[in-house]
Amino acid sequence: MPAIPLHTAVSYVAGAYLVFFALVLIYVAIMASKLSRIETELSELTELAIKERENRDPAPTGGPKTDPAPTGGPKTDPTEAGGPKPEAVAR
């Protein structure tokens, strides 16, 4: 003999399934809202990063970047370039 009559047990099982389904539905709704918030924040951060990159590198993306003040070009003074000193050449 069952401990609970079958017609009563069916309602308990159905209630348990409904509670479980409601909990899963609530969990999915919470995860969906978190995902939506994360996507919004990520798009805002992406826009900020793009603006920061444009402010830092104003050079056009299609052409080569030009250095306004070259720092490591060839030297014209032989003493700076590591060549012979002028007094050594005069001897």
What is the per-residue pLDDT across 3-38, written as a single tens digit (0 to 9) for each?
Answer: 777 778 899 999 999 999 999 999 999 999 999 999
Number of domains in the chain: 1
Residue 49 lies in a domain: yes
Burial state string for 47-81 with b = 16 or more CB within 10 A and e = fewer than 16: eeeeeeeeeeeeeeeeeeeeeeeeeeeeeeeeeee
- The answer on pLDDT for 60 being more than 90 is no
Distance in angstroms (rounded) separating the CA atoms of residues 81 and 39: 56
Q: Is residue 11 part of a domain?
A: no
d(Cα 58, Cα 9) in Å, to the nearest integer? Answer: 73
For residue 74, being part of any structural domain is answered with no
Establish if 18 belongs to a structural domain: no
Residue 75 scores a pLDDT above 70? no
Q: What is the pLDDT of residue 48?
A: 95
Check residue 49 and give its pLDDT: 94
Give domain status of residue 89, yes or no.
no
**Residue at 25 is within a domain:** no
What pTM does this model have?
0.50
Residue 72: inside a domain? no
Domain region containing 48: 31-56
- Per-residue pLDDT at 43 exceeds 80: yes
Residue 35 in domain:
yes
Average pLDDT over residues 56-66: 64
